[in-house]
Amino acid sequence: MTNNQESNHGEAPNPDLSSQAGNSPKELPPGSHAGVGIAVASFVLGLVSLLFSLFVIGVIFGIVGLVFGIVHLSKRLPFFKAMAIWGVLLSVLGSLACIGFGVFYGIKIHQAFSAMSEMQSEGGIQSQAQEYIGMAVPDISLTDMDGNEIALSQLKGKRVVLDFWATWCPPCKKEIPHFIKLANEVKTDNLAIIGISHEDKKTLQKYIKKIGINYPIASADNLPSPFASISSIPTTFFIDRNGIIQNVLVGYHDYDTLKANAVAENYQGELKTAPIQPKSGLKDSEIKYTLKPQWILNIPGAVSICAGNWGNDGKEKILVADNNKTLHIIGVEGQIQGNITIPEAFGQIEIGKYKQNGYRLLGYSNWGHQVTVVDTNGMKLWEYPSKDGVNGAHWGDLDGDNNDEMIIGMNGFGGIHAVSCDGKQRWKVSAIGNVWNQSIVAGHDPKNTLVFATEAGGTIRVYDSNGQTVRTLQPLGKYYAQMTASLIDANDDIQVVAIGADGAVVAFNPAGQIKWTTGGSKQRSWRTSSFACGDMDGDGRKDWAFLEANGDLVIAAPDGTKLASLPAQKGIERFLICSGLNGGALVTMSKGDISSYSLSK
């Protein structure tokens, strides 16, 4: 009896211990701690995957979280099963979201590279160049770095290779060794290789010595067609022994391809005449205007130009920034009124107004990583940074307070940002990714203010002053990168002009209704001047300036009437319209020459 009682007593739970166990956390079985950790890790990684899906890299966390969750569930542990299930679900959702964003980004990147390819090829420079194949090459005369004159007409009987290149161009430099090798392998009696760059003699001589270039290099610009249309480099012309353009290659090519074209047999097809330029779609003006030269100044190293009220005296000034960080101030009559030092050699500049502290200047470099704002003394006021690079920036009064805010178009997937007059972000739209061109049009009534932007997909986006989407435009179904918009009269009428990928210039209102179009434009890079706007004829409505396909710089009224033109301006770097003494003035910049023209009957 005693033994049984003792035995039963030994097996019965201790009341005190049971009570203590009921008031304390249950102990986990041996080996279960690792399972808990895996379940927690799966949940956390799944959550991180979902949160970082926008950046695609979340897929890595999703895959690891999914594996951890499956491992935990496969062990059939009774602990934290729900957490493991949630970890698996979140990991799957995060991974799928990452894949979705990856596909979306891939499409956008493809569109962006396609657009850049189209723009670098000047709306299809390869196809334009193909139009000249089978045509006699124009006789041009070049001077090489040793002072020797080279005329193409004197090279008949030889194969000729004309390579258009620059020392700053990576694919050009990659091709140079191929031409050096070709010059060593083929006798000069049979082949003439000539490199042509627009750079100065000193820069070219230094590079020739460094690389050991063994064929003539010439510095030349403003050459006749078909060379005048070249803006994508390297571009290489292959000319046969009879002086006929046999082929044109754009971009980098390997040695075998270059050699095969350089030593090919003569052109065998039917000879062609020069292609006919597309007819202008502009109406001729009833009044016969001409653009009369007013003055010309030379500013060495000039890189950017703008115009506006700089100095609060009510008179417009022309500002020219050079590569020595100097801003030159020029009156509309052509007199230099002074200069100031600025923080950088800005590739783009624009004047904005600030009612309390006067006028300011924004400056940036293409694909630079900030927009800098300086005052009239050149002192830096603030910067707005950009991780992926700046594609463009413009002033405009978004809210009607007489202070200019700023719109910035970002490279990569940065979208478009609206920035206050003191450099603070007001709003941004990131969903459109890369932004080519942008514009603020401030109406007399702030409710009529609109923001325009072209994006990597080729559409034109319209926003209100708060960044809310108004509409998306794609007139005539074209792909647009170069674009600007302006208030053209006192009635808050807005006109947008844009260049399609085919070079067509299209003018339309904010609803997309087309006012006029004209034939292929000289398709310029979206980083340089494509349009200028201002009242040239004094009728109270702003006119447009742009380059037509034949290289003429045209002045067109907002109704599509051609007022006047400057012929053969394909080598022009910048142009603008500002208020002059007798109406508007067209101001151009080319190789440091700043020239002014007035509209004259």
Distance in angstroms (rounded) separating the CA atoms of residues 396 and 253 = 45
Q: Which secondary-structure segment (H or E) carries 108?
A: helix 81-120
Confidence of residue 542 (pLDDT cuts 50, 70, 90): very high
| Of 280, 190, 151, the residue nearest 547 (C-alpha) | 280
Residue 53: its pLDDT value, please? 73
Residue 215: its pLDDT value, please? 95
Decide if 504 contacts 468 (C-beta within 8 A).
no
Confidence of residue 10 (pLDDT cuts 50, 70, 90): very low
Residue 76: its pLDDT value, please? 75
pLDDT tens sequence across 265-292: 999 888 877 655 556 678 888 888 889 9
- With the CA atoms of 461, 388, 408 and 569 taken in that order, what torsion angle do they form, in degrees rounded to the nearest 10? -80
**In the predicted model, what is the mean pLDDT of residues 515-534?**
73
* Mean per-residue pLDDT over the chain, rounded: 82
Query: Which distant-in-sequence residues (6+ apart) come within 8 Å of 131 by Cβ?
Result: 226, 275
H-helix segments, 121-213:
125-130, 170-185, 201-211
pLDDT tens sequence across 356-377: 768 999 999 876 789 999 999 9
Confidence of residue 313 (pLDDT cuts 50, 70, 90): confident
Q: Which secondary-structure segment (H or E) carries 66?
A: helix 58-74
Residue 456: its pLDDT value, please? 82
Residue 347 has pLDDT above 80, yes or no: yes
- With the CA atoms of 529, 530, 533 and 537 taken in that order, what torsion angle do they form, in degrees rounded to the nearest 10? 100
Residue 582: its pLDDT value, please? 63
Distance in angstroms (rounded) separating the CA atoms of residues 580 and 586 = 9
pLDDT winner (highest mean) among 59-63, 164-168, 371-375, 502-506: 371-375
DSSP letters, 154-180, are: GGTTSEEEEEE--TT-HHHHHHHHHHH
- 9-13, 186-190, 355-359: segment of lowest average pLDDT: 9-13
| Of 114, 138, 118, the residue nearest 128 (C-alpha) | 118
- b/e per residue 450-459 (b: at least 16 CB within 10 A): bbbbbbbbbb
| Of 500, 454, 422, 432, the residue nearest 124 (C-alpha) | 500
Residue 601: its pLDDT value, please? 82
pLDDT tens sequence across 60-83: 887 887 888 788 778 776 667 788
Q: Is the dihedral of CA 253, 258, 264, 269 positive or negative?
A: positive
Distance in angstroms (rounded) separating the CA atoms of residues 587 and 583 = 13
SS3 content of the chain, % helix, strand, coil (to 5): 25, 35, 40
Distance in angstroms (rounded) separating the CA atoms of residues 193 and 248 = 14
pLDDT tens sequence across 77-119: 666 778 878 878 888 887 888 888 777 766 655 555 444 444 4
Q: Which secondary-structure segment (H or E) carries 18?
A: helix 15-22
Using CB atoms within 10 Å of the CB of residue 577, give its burial: 0 to 12 exposed, 13 to 18 middle, 19+ buried: buried
Decide if 569 contacts 300 (C-beta within 8 A).
no
